[in-house]
Amino acid sequence: MFRLINQASRWKIFACLLASGLIGPRAVSYGQNPTPDHPSIVVHGQTYTPSSILERNMGTDADQTTAFPPHRIIGNIYYVGTRTLSSFLIVTPQGNILMNSTYERNVPVIEKSVTQLGFKFSDIKILLGNHGHSDHQEGDALVRQMTGAQTIAMAEEVPALQALRPGGKEHPIDKIIHDGDKVTLGDVTLVAHLTPGHTRGCTSWTATAQEAGKSYNVLFGCSLRPPAVVTPAIAAELTRSFTLVRALPCDVQLGDHGAQYNMQAKYAMLKAGAPNPFISPATCMAEADIEEAMFHALLDEQEKAAPR
């Protein structure tokens, strides 16, 4: 039984990687040769390869499905995800917003974290996501079944979302939005920014949160990780996205994987009683720096390999 679950979850991860383009016909040889792991880049003193970034994002099977201690990030924004897959709860007087249901099997884990924080899962009125890969939005159908929440999707992400059909369930999409559209519930407004490249409709969200009488800009960034093969269309998308993301107001940077914003280290600082470590405008673009360097390194490699 455990073996079966393990194999099934491995296949899902493989399918996600395949969908994400990190592995594909050019990069994988089905067990004969190891997947090429290059280029290698150094950003802010750290070395990264495509595999190291993926490993950092995903962790182990257990990391993907084990709750990380739920905690308040800032103001009315809480973390309710697993050790490596982010899920955020935004609390308002008119009900709550959940961002990223992650894998369907994680929904009860997220529900427990919401309850542990003193909130009701059934108070989730709106369900949002960063992008339509199974590790971020596979659980949408189940969350909608359990809460009746309205599901909102970026137009360009609809095909990717519709391809997510856990147990044959149709992916719920109640409302389609476009770049720059706003989603409001109670006293919270989130702005949707189309930041494609990782997927066609990758959506970064911005909002403000209040703490100790001050207002802070929060960025819920979508992955900027380039696929292994960067087509001219994807290159154009990513070029636009890096410029756009760098122009977004940001005091608190969050991401669809905790590793994109050093969640575990910041949480340890929070536990140690430090001033809110999530407020860190100076490091808001650290993840964009890594992914943009990888993007250019991949492009350089492809150009050198191209027939002349």
The interface with Zn ion within residues 257-296 (CB under 5 A) comprises none
Which CB, 59 or 277, lies closer to Zn ion?
59
Classify residue 220 by its DSSP letter: E
CA angle 54, 230, 180 (to 5 degrees): 85
Which CB, 20 or 241, lies closer to Zn ion?
20
**Long-range CB pairs of 262-270, under 8 A, 24+ apart, other chains included:** 262/286, 263/68, 263/79, 263/86, 264/68, 264/83, 267/68, 267/69, 267/71, 267/79, 270/71
The interface with Zn ion within residues 117-136 (CB under 5 A) comprises 133
Adjacent-strand bridge partners of 278: none
Q: Least distance to Zn ion from the beta carbon of 133, Å?
A: 4
Interface characters, 184-223, with Zn ion (x: CB under 5 A): ----------------------------------------
Which CB, 188 or 224, lies closer to Zn ion?
224
Q: Least distance to Zn ion from the beta carbon of 122, Å?
A: 29
Listed in sequence order, the DSSP H helices in 69-127 are: 107-116
Which CB, 233 or 268, lies closer to Zn ion?
233
Q: Least distance to Zn ion from the beta carbon of 208, Å?
A: 26
Q: Least distance to Zn ion from the beta carbon of 222, Å?
A: 9
Which CB, 83 or 133, lies closer to Zn ion?
133
The answer to whether 100 contacts Zn ion (rule: CB under 5 A) is no
Q: Least distance to Zn ion from the beta carbon of 20, Å?
A: 5
**DSSP for 245-295, written as a single string:** HHTS--SEEEESBGGGGTHHHHHHHHHTT-S-TT--GGGTTHHHHHHHHHH
Which residue in 20, 106, 150, 195 binds Zn ion (CB under 5 A)?
Answer: 20
Which CB, 19 or 207, lies closer to Zn ion?
19
Which CB, 20 or 147, lies closer to Zn ion?
20
The closest residue (CB) to Zn ion is: 133
Q: How far apart are CA 49 and CA 43, in angstroms?
A: 11
The number of helix segments (H) and strand segments (E) in the chain equals 10, 14
- Return the SS3 of 208: strand
- Which helix (H) or strand (E) segment holds residue 128: the answer is strand 124-128
The binding site for Zn ion (CB under 5 A) comprises 20, 133
